[in-house]
Amino acid sequence: MKQTIIKKIVATSVSATLAFAPLVSHACTAVNIVSKDGSVVAGRTMEWAFDMKWQLTANPKGTPISLSAPASLKLPVTTLASKYAFVAIAPGVLAGPPAYLEGQNESGLAMSGNFLPGFTQYQAVTPQDKNYVSILNLGGFILGMFGSVKELRNELPKYKVWFDPSEVKGLPTPPWLHLVLTDRGGDSIVVEFVKGQMVIHDNVAGVLTNAPTYDWHLNNVRNYLSLTSTATAAVTVGNTNVTELGQGGGLLGLPADYTPPSRFVRATYLKQFVYQPSNSTDAMQAAGHILNNVDIPIGVARSSDGKSVVSDYTQWVNLKDLKNNRMKIANYANRTNFIEINLNEVFKSGITKTWQIDKLPYPQNDVTTDFLK
C-alpha cells in the first residue's frame, strides 16, 4: 500500500513537472540557525540550470507595493506604500516589475522562495474577493508590509495568491513556489499552495528544499532516525578488536545525492548535530558550512529531454543575519569569497538601487605579492 502511494506521488510530480517545466530542475536549500545569544541567521542556496541574471535591489520605506487580481477579472488594483525598507533578489530575465524570491527587511523578517513543481496550485480569485496578490508580487508584499511571522500567520490567509501564465514573460518555468519565512525572534513558517488552498506549516526542522511538500519531508526524516553524530568506536569480532577507520561513521546512510528529499535530510541532520553557535558571527559560519554540503558544481546534476542537456548549479548563496541586518552573498565564481552588506546603512540611506549579483565587488584574495615583498 505504502509503495503504491509513493509511486502515485512520484508519478504525479514527474508528469506535472514535465508538462509545465521541461528540462528544468530545481535544487534550492534553505536553513535557519539560532545561536546561544538568540541571534537568527537564515541562509539559502539558489540553484538553476539557466543564467537568470539575478539582481539585488534596495527598496526604501514607502516603496509602492501593487496588489492586483488577474486582468480578466477587471478588479481594482491596490497600491500600498511599504511600511519597511527591504533588500531582495529577483530574476533579471523576467519582464516587468521584479518578482522577489529572497530577501530581508529592516524589521528582521526574512523570506526565501523555493520551487515546488508538481504540487503547487495557486488560489482562484473570484469577482467577490477583496484581497488578492499575484505570486509575482507576493515577495515584495511580504517584505514591505510585515515585520514578523506572527503578523504573517494572522494576515496572509486573508489574501488569495494567484498565478496567470499569460501575464508572465521571460521565465523559463512557471513560478511554482513555496516560501520559508523567518523573523529575528526565530519564529519560522513554510507557506505552500496545494490543491488551490494556502497551507501554512510551522518550520519545525528549520530547513526547506523543494518537492514534495513540507509535511512529506518531515515524515521522510523519520526514515533516518538511526543517524548519530557519535559512531561506534570499536567492536569485538571473535577475538579481534576492530576499530573505526575514522570519525563520522554514525552518519553512514546519510543521503549524498542532490534530490530535494536527500538535501532536506542532509541539511536537517547537519543542523541538528552541529554545535550551537555562540553568536551571529558563528551562526553565519555554521549556516555557510551546512550549505556547503548541498553546493552543486556545474555538470554533476544534469537533465535532458533527448535534444539538449543542462545542469543545475549553485548560482549564489545568501546568508541573512536577522538580528544585526547583515547580508553575505557569494556567486558561483566566488563561492568562498562572500561579500558583506551592512543593511542598516542601506536602509538608513533611503536609496533605491539595483545590482547584478554576478557583478558585485567580490574580493580578490590573492596575497602572493605580499609574500614576495
Summarised one tens digit per residue, pLDDT across range 97-117 is 899 999 999 999 999 999 999
Containing domain of residue 293, as a range?
Answer: 2-214+276-358
For the entire predicted model, the pTM comes to 0.90
For residue 25, the model assigns a pLDDT of 53
Residue percentage of the chain with pLDDT more than 90: 75
Which neighbouring-strand residues pair with 31? 43, 207
Residue 243 lies in a domain: no
pLDDT bucket at 304, cuts 50 / 70 / 90: confident
For residue 364, the model assigns a pLDDT of 67
For residue 284, the model assigns a pLDDT of 97
Distances (CA, A) of 126 to 69, 137, 157, 213: 9, 18, 16, 26
Question: How many structural domains is the chain composed of?
Answer: 1
Rounded CA-CA distance 163/176 in Å is: 9
206 backbone φψ class: left, alpha, beta (φ>0; ψ -120 to 50): left
Mean pLDDT along residues 362-369? 66
Residue 370 lies in a domain: no
For residue 331, the model assigns a pLDDT of 96
* Least reliable range by pLDDT among 167-176, 199-208, 275-284, 316-325: 167-176
Mean pLDDT along residues 236-254? 83
Residue 86 lies in a domain: yes
Residue 239 lies in a domain: no
pLDDT bucket at 198, cuts 50 / 70 / 90: very high
For residue 238, the model assigns a pLDDT of 86
Q: What is the overall mean pLDDT for the chain?
A: 90
For residue 370, the model assigns a pLDDT of 61
Residue 259 lies in a domain: no
Residue 157 — φ and ψ, nearest 5°?
-65, -10
Q: Is the pLDDT score of 23 beyond 70?
A: no
Mean pLDDT along residues 300-315? 86
Can you give the CATH number for the domain in which 284 is found?
3.60.60.10
Residue 187 lies in a domain: yes
Rounded CA-CA distance 320/86 in Å is: 12
For residue 366, the model assigns a pLDDT of 63
Residue 82 lies in a domain: yes
Mean pLDDT along residues 271-290? 97
Task: Dig out the grid coordinates for 64 from the structure.
Answer: 509602492
Q: Is the pLDDT score of 260 beyond 80?
A: yes
For residue 35, the model assigns a pLDDT of 98
Order across the sheet with 86-91: list the strands.
197-202, 188-194, 177-183, 109-115, 102-105, 86-91, 54-59, 353-356
Residue 225 lies in a domain: no
